[in-house]
Amino acid sequence: MKTRSIRVALLALVILPLIASSAFAFENINLWPSTPPGDKPEQYQENGGRYYTPRIEWWRPENQTTDVCLIISCGGSYNGVAYDVEGVMPRDFFLSKGVTVCMLWYRTPRREGIPKHYAAWQDVQRAVRIARSNAKEWKIDPNKIGVMGFSAGGHLTLMAATSSETKTYEPVDEIDKLPCNINFAVPVYPAYALTDGVDNENTTGGLDAKLVDDFAFDAHTPPMCFIHGDGDGYSAMASVAVYRKLREMGIPGEVHIYAYANHAFRNCGPNAPIVKYPQRVLEWLQTLEFIAAPDDAKVQH
């Protein structure tokens, strides 16, 4: 017992300074009360399989100044989640602005026998419902929940935004009585959105392509803010095409396309304009009146 106490004390000496140095705290919340739809228990790591448990990280800002909740969906070709590459910077930016953030660990790799995005689509619908069910505890507005996603996660963001009325799984508990529509969306260099790049880069640069039929553009399709690079092999014409559809539907949108920037902005220095895209998104949320704007920065609707 004494040896165990010493080990615990030493562990505390290592961990506590790390906790104290962090301005934010988070909690892991599993998306599903048991095995996710379509999967088998033996496929999961805790049972000797290779799948990790899909979940959200609920991050609480040190100083919550807004009732917006942002779910972040990183890319990875639906075969992984590029958390460190795409998720950490926007997560910390929005937390520093007082925004509640949920980091989504949707299911990867792709499941066999179903569309590449289907399991992840089930997960994002469930994540939105979980956020909505916790609105009171998290001090968020259930009508101010949005998704920001990158690459494959950008495609998933479009699925969440345009197709929430499509039922992807049978209800598993009371949470699933809640709607899964989102109130705003931020697709960042979305992949797989055009017919010349349904599973890879766009073969014609997106110029002679149409939107894939994945997206329903139902009545709950929300406003969107697009971030894309003009030099991206996953063509910025995807963002343009979705924006055009929004205009046809009378839904407001905003598009930021940056010259020469490639996929994931790998050719951009740390102070390149495109790297400051979270500030553009914050200002857009102020334009939508989801986040308070200074009086001299307000836009009349």
For 140-166, write each residue's pLDDT tens digit.
999 999 999 999 999 999 999 999 999
Local confidence band at 18 (pLDDT 50, 70, 90 cut-offs): very low
The answer to whether residue 177 scores a pLDDT higher than 50 is yes
For 95-134, write each residue's pLDDT tens digit.
999 999 999 999 999 999 999 999 999 999 999 999 999 9
List domains and CATH numbers for the chain: 24-297 (3.40.50.1820)
The answer to whether residue 6 scores a pLDDT higher than 70 is no
- What burial class does residue 205 get, using C-beta atoms within 10 Å of its C-beta: 0-12 exposed, 13-18 middle, 19+ buried? middle
Distance CA 211, CA 243 (A): 11
pTM of the complete model: 0.92
The residue type of 296 is D
The answer to whether residue 16 scores a pLDDT higher than 60 is no
- What burial class does residue 224 get, using C-beta atoms within 10 Å of its C-beta: 0-12 exposed, 13-18 middle, 19+ buried? buried
Distance CA 95, CA 23 (A): 9
The per-residue pLDDT for 23 is 54
Local confidence band at 12 (pLDDT 50, 70, 90 cut-offs): very low
Is the distance from CB of 256 to CB of 226 less than 8 angstroms? yes
Pick the closest to residue 61 from 73, 49, 69 (CA basis).
69
- SS3 state at 238: helix
Distance CA 142, CA 135 (A): 6
For 215-254, write each residue's pLDDT tens digit.
999 999 999 999 999 999 999 999 999 999 999 999 999 9
The per-residue pLDDT for 25 is 80
User: What's the whole-number average pLDDT of the chain?
Assistant: 93
The answer to whether residue 168 scores a pLDDT higher than 70 is yes
The per-residue pLDDT for 82 is 97
β-strand pairing of 55-60 with 100-105: antiparallel
Pick the closest to residue 73 from 228, 187, 237, 216 (CA basis).
187
Local confidence band at 137 (pLDDT 50, 70, 90 cut-offs): very high
For 34-43, write each residue's pLDDT tens digit.
999 999 999 9
Distance CA 172, CA 36 (A): 10
The per-residue pLDDT for 13 is 35
